[in-house]
Amino acid sequence: MNIQTSKESSVMVVKVTGRLDAVTAPEYERQFTLLITDGETRFVVDFEKLDYISSAGLRVLLATAKHIKAKSGQIHLANIGGAVKEVFDISGFGSIFPMHESVASALNATVG
């Protein structure tokens, strides 16, 4: 799993590639914690290159989202498709997070 970050006018765009499973989930959490500690509050997570997600991945996603909310931040998800989308649908996560078709629209939706 690979995490690439870029700043788009005060919004942190996080690109996740590979798998988000029991092995890689801790790393995801760790990276996000670093970013939050750095002071980032607004996030767009780009799942375009994510091939696979399991319950472990969903859990860390939830955990980091709560963390961000606690800091009065925002998190939007973009480019969820394929198998990952199915898992989101099955688990009902599709209704918890704001999901967008593209990074651009996610950025637009980011308030403030």
| Shortest CB 58 distance to other proteins, Å | 6
In the complex with other proteins, which residue's Cβ is closer, 89 or 101? 89
Residue 92 region by backbone torsions, left for phi larger than 0, else alpha for psi between -120 and 50, else beta = left
97 secondary structure, DSSP code: S
* CA nearest neighbour of 77 among 5, 8, 14: 14
Applying CB under 8 A, does 91 fall inside the site for other proteins?
yes
Binding residues with other proteins: total (CB under 8 A) = 14
Applying CB under 8 A, does 29 fall inside the site for other proteins?
no
What's the CA gap between 50 and 20, in Å, rounded? Answer: 8
Site residues (vs other proteins, CB under 8 A): 21-23, 52, 54-56, 58-59, 83, 87, 90-92
